[in-house]
């Protein structure tokens, strides 16, 4: 399981980038990531196989 740290601030891209804090928060709510630390640069433990549909939903603006 790869560990990913969130960026400090969203860059307003469309679709959102994979290390955006909003995307990682949405993936954790869906059950595909687990938050390890809190704060501005939170760290997440991601699942190996995240379905493409779940990633598209998490990255949409």
Q: What is the pTM of this model?
A: 0.88
Residue pointed to by tokens 């909003």 = 22
Q: Which residues contact 28 (CB under 8 A, 6 or more apart)?
A: 34, 35, 44
Question: What is the number of structural domains in the chain?
Answer: 1
Length of the chain: 61
Alpha helices (runs of H) in 1-61, residue ranges in sequence order: 21-30, 52-59
- What residues make up the domain containing 31? 3-59
In tens, the pLDDT along 31-44 reads: 999 999 988 889 99
14 is written with which tokens?
A: 């469309």
d(CA 34, CA 36): 6
What was the pLDDT predicted at 57?
96
Is the pLDDT confidence value at 1 over 80?
A: no
């Amino acid at each position: 399981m790869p560990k990913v740290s969130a960026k400090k601030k969203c860059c307003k891209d469309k679709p959102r980038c994979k290390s955006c804090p909003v995307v990682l928060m949405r993936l954790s709510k869906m059950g595909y990531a687990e938050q390890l630390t809190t704060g501005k640069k939170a760290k997440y433990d991601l699942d190996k196989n995240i379905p493409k549909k779940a990633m598209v939903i998490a990255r949409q603006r």
